[in-house]
Amino acid sequence: MVYIPFLSLLGFQAALNPFAPKPKQEPISTDAVPFVNPNLHGGSLLDMTNTGLGEPLNVIVSGLSSPWVLADGGFVHFANAVGFGIECFGAHLGDPQAANLGDGHGYVNQTLELRQDYGNPDIGTCWESLVGGNHLRLFRQNGPGANTGALFLAVSQEENVSHGHTISPNGYNIGRDNFVKGALGVKRYQGVKYQIVAQNVTGLLPPGSTGINHGIPTDGVTVLLTVTIVS
Ligand SMILES: *[C@@H]1O[C@H](CO)[C@@H](O)[C@H](O)[C@H]1NC(C)=O
Ligand SMILES: *[C@@H]1O[C@H](CO)[C@@H](O)[C@H](O)[C@H]1NC(C)=O
Ligand SMILES: *[C@@H]1O[C@H](CO)[C@@H](O)[C@H](O)[C@H]1NC(C)=O
């Protein structure tokens, strides 16, 4: 048997490189369920900002999605396919937020923050930083208590820079709905074809504004997306 160490390294790089043309299916160990309700194990569908209030985790990418999509690099590739990109030149605006997904890890900072790219994955997010638009923070449910690999996203519509990137009125529902609208169906990007289906889940977060940052109410709907690489 020949052990070729750099092959696994290449696989790792492919998973991290958003421009990898053909994603390799990275096997991630998961529980083979869409997600586990964070409320059952001390978690919450609200993340935590430095004000003590939170933003709703209003989209979940199912743990039953293609494994590659659930890795950081694969998710960024998928996000590029649906109009989101890495923040402008890696510039990061604002503090990270943390979430407790009830997976035994307690509160963990966001893994990624992406912005609407206005049609240009390389520099479009710079435009978003000026004029506002949609943006998302990503948290992964992968602790020992719930190793589903599901990605919990806090999606919100932001005002422009002169408003200091505050969330638009109704910005949580609008951000979620625009993200889902832009992601549904079949999307192609750099040789990869994604199929995305959505399902509404209620009962994870009560409707209203209790505990929610800026007092902006939500309708309490969480959208579960299953993202499958079909070719
Ligand atoms: C999140 O990141 C901030 C800034 O880097 C750090 O101060 C804080 O301790 C982190 N929180 C958690 C829960 O890891
Ligand atoms: C930001 O929005 C306000 C209105 O809400 C508008 O007056 C202003 O011109 C906008 N600024 C930019 C940079 O788009
Ligand atoms: C899911 O919920 C959103 C927000 O309430 C709603 O606009 C949409 O029609 C719902 N979709 C389905 C399939 O029920």
At residue 207 the predicted structure's pLDDT band, cuts being 50, 70 and 90, is very high
At residue 14 the predicted structure's pLDDT band, cuts being 50, 70 and 90, is very low
Token code pair at residue 46: 């609200």
Is any ligand 2 atom within 6 A of the Cβ of residue 164? no
Measured CA to CA, the distance from residue 91 to residue 101 in angstroms comes to 27
Nearest of 219, 160, 173, 194 to residue 76 by alpha carbon: 194
Name the residue with higher pLDDT: 88 or 153: 153
At residue 43 the predicted structure's pLDDT band, cuts being 50, 70 and 90, is very high
Q: What phi and psi values does residue 192 have, to the nearest 5 degrees?
A: -110, 135
Contact between 117 and 125 (Cβ < 8 Å): yes
* Ligand 3 pocket, mutate which of 184, 199, 200 (most atoms under 8 A from CB): 200
Residue ranges per structural domain of the chain: 5-229
**Residue type, position 76, single letter:** V
Contact between 174 and 68 (Cβ < 8 Å): no
**Which ligand has an atom closest to residue 162 CA?**
2
Measured in angstroms, how far is the CA atom of residue 27 from the centroid of ligand 3? 32
Sign of CA dihedral 73, 117, 97, 32: negative
Is any ligand 1 atom within 6 A of the Cβ of residue 93? no
Contact between 133 and 115 (Cβ < 8 Å): yes
Give 122-163 pLDDT, tens digit per residue. Answer: 788 888 878 888 999 999 999 999 999 999 999 999 887 777
Alpha helices in 71-230 (DSSP H): 72-81, 124-131, 171-183
